[in-house]
């Protein structure tokens, strides 16, 4: 008999929430088969069995949150499976076990994934992911289940096109287009109950709606507070002339063939930062436990706005990649963040972060350091602004940037030199290709 425990799926994971069991008690399990979907502090991830046998018992029900190492299931050989317990995932109408009932009482966050795509797991198994197809469990991604619920699509009537016949987002969309969708009412928001339990609180502010945080939102809130509370921030602002970069990108776009990726200005910033980080190793490090950690790889995190959260996927070895490869990587990562398919390894290993709000018309802002990194570059919009050149007033394409530094590792002068190098690289964009 082998006990399956809550796995560590990311470097910062301390606990996980069972979202969906993909197998049932009595099922034969193969090594590498996806058996359970788990929500971590960074993303939802399917856990693959590392042993083969028969699933004899499920110890953690959908909706339960357990620490790393806690038992969640048991797998035995075929003989052991024949007399196994029939306990399995909670289905609609079944009374919830005590641990899950506690989760449904409002204690703890609803299990909504980082990109807001997966269904909320609840103690009584709303039916999402529990549909049967001729007595077999329907395998569907969290995104597909959420979309099916919203559009009234019966998952048991869909043939999945994903790995192992798993139903994915596009399958549900196609089913909805085929006229199989029925409108469903949106979920009722949680509202603050009055002392006597008689409804929402009325005050001068109106009704008070209380929204529980997802695990990702809890993690972001905790880490941002820890960063500001423990890392002594200081900020350096700079104006970068992007006229040559604008012209260079225009030429790249004009020369690009159909379907070719055209690097964005943010891709140029990522590349410039990567090259500057290679030349200034102190900026590519962290302060940990009274020591400096200086990293040999330059991995730049790119802040991406997901639904109700901020996610930072990583462009690995950005200093060694060309602009087109960086552009392809960032687009693929951003797409995964938004559709909820990003994995913990793609969110780990960053040594520096770039955050860009220029597309929203923000000229300058100061970002909170993504601890334990030593710095983060906040990038504003590119806009035509007046400048003085050779004693004459003219205009140029200018971009504001603010470097937030952890003063424990990145001091004023080295930080200024790093930022000046980023500016020099962007103002002469041909250097980004070298």
pLDDT digits (tens, 9 = 90+) for 112-123: 333 333 333 333
For the question of residue 233 being annotated catalytic, the response is no
Task: Please tell me the class of the 2-180 domain.
Answer: mainly beta
Higher per-residue confidence, 349 vs 142: 349
pLDDT above 70: percentage of residues in the chain: 79
Confidence of residue 92 (pLDDT cuts 50, 70, 90): very low
pLDDT, position 281: 95
Higher per-residue confidence, 32 vs 89: 32
Confidence of residue 274 (pLDDT cuts 50, 70, 90): very high
Instruction: Give the full edge-to-edge strand order of the sheet including 233-241.
Output: 233-241, 392-406, 375-389, 352-356, 300-302, 314-315
Task: In whole angstroms, give the CA distance from residue 193 to residue 211.
Answer: 13
pLDDT, position 164: 63
Which residue in 24, 324, 407, 408 is the catalytic one? 407
pLDDT, position 140: 76
pLDDT, position 434: 63
Higher per-residue confidence, 277 vs 108: 277
Task: In whole angstroms, give the CA distance from residue 36 to residue 5.
Answer: 11
* Run of H or E residues at 150: helix 142-151
Where does the chain hold its CATH 3.30.559.10 domain(s)? 231-433
Q: Which residues contact 4 (CB under 8 A, 6 or more apart)?
A: 35, 49, 71, 72, 73, 74, 75
Higher per-residue confidence, 266 vs 179: 266
For the cut 70, the answer to whether the pLDDT of residue 135 exceeds it is: no
Helix (H, G, I), strand (E, B) or coil at 65: strand
Higher per-residue confidence, 339 vs 73: 73
For the cut 60, the answer to whether the pLDDT of residue 94 exceeds it is: no
Average pLDDT, the chain: 80
| pLDDT tens track for 226-254 | 999 999 999 999 999 999 999 999 999 99
Q: Which stretch, 37-46, 75-84, 183-192, has highest mean pLDDT?
A: 37-46
Out of 3.30.450.20, 3.40.50.920, 3.10.20.600, 3.30.559.10, the CATH code matching 231-433 is 3.30.559.10
Residue 234 burial (CB < 10 Å; 0-12/13-18/19+)?
middle
Where does the chain hold its CATH 2.40.50.100 domain(s)? 2-180
Q: Taking residues 362-369, what's their average pLDDT?
A: 96
Confidence of residue 183 (pLDDT cuts 50, 70, 90): very low
pLDDT, position 161: 75
Q: Which residue has the tokens 């806009």?
A: 383
Q: Which residues contact 302 (CB under 8 A, 6 or more apart)?
A: 266, 270, 312, 313, 314, 315, 330, 333, 334, 353, 354
Helix (H, G, I), strand (E, B) or coil at 400: strand
Higher per-residue confidence, 299 vs 77: 299
Q: Are 7 and 36 in contact (CB under 8 A)?
A: no
Higher per-residue confidence, 100 vs 221: 221
pLDDT, position 78: 57
């Amino acid at each position: 008999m082998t006990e399956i425990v809550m796995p560590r799926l990311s470097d910062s994971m301390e606990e996980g929430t069972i979202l969906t069991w993909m197998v049932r008690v009595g099922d034969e399990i193969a090594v590498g088969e996806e058996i359970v979907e788990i929500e971590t502090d960074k993303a939802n991830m399917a856990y693959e069995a590392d042993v083969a046998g028969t699933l004899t018992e499920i110890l953690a029900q959908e909706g339960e949150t357990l620490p790393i190492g806690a038992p969640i299931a048991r797998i035995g050989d075929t003989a052991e499976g024949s007399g196994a317990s029939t306990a399995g995932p909670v289905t609609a109408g079944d009374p919830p076990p005590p641990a899950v009932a506690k989760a449904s009482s409002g204690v703890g966050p609803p299990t909504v994934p980082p990109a807001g795509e997966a269904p909320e797991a609840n103690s009584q198994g709303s039916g999402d992911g529990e549909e049967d197809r001729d007595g077999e469990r329907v395998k569907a991604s969290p995104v597909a289940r959420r979309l099916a619920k919203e559009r009234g699509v019966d998952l048991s009537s869909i043939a999945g096109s994903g790995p192992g016949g798993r139903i994915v987002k596009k399958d549900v969309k196609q089913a909805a287009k085929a006229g199989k969708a029925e409108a469903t009412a949106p979920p009722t928001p949680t509202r603050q109950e009055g002392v006597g339990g008689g409804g929402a609180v009325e005050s001068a502010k109106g009704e008070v709606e209380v929204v529980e945080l997802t695990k990702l939102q809890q993690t972001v809130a905790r880490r941002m507070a820890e960063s500001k509370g423990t890392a002594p921030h200081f900020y350096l602002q700079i104006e970068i002339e992007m006229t040559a970069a604008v012209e260079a990108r225009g030429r790249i776009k004009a020369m690009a063939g159909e379907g070719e990726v055209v690097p964005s200005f943010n891709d140029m910033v990522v590349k410039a930062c990567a090259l500057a980080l290679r030349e200034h190793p102190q900026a590519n490090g962290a302060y940990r436990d009274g020591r400096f950690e200086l990293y040999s790889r330059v991995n730049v995190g790119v802040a991406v706005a997901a639904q109700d959260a901020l996610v930072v996927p990583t462009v690995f070895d950005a200093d060694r990649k060309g602009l087109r490869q960086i552009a392809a990587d960032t687009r693929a990562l951003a797409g995964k963040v938004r559709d909820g398919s990003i994995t913990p390894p793609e969110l780990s290993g960053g040594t520096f972060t770039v955050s860009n709000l220029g597309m929203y018309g923000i000229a300058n802002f100061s970002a909170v350091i993504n601890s334990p990194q030593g710095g983060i570059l906040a990038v504003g919009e590119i806009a035509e602004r007046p400048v003085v050149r050779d004693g004459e007033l003219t205009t140029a394409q200018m971009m504001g940037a603010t470097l937030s530094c952890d003063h424990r590792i990145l001091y004023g002068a080295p930080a200024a030199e790093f930022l000046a190098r980023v500016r020099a690289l962007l103002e002469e964009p041909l250097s980004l290709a070298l």
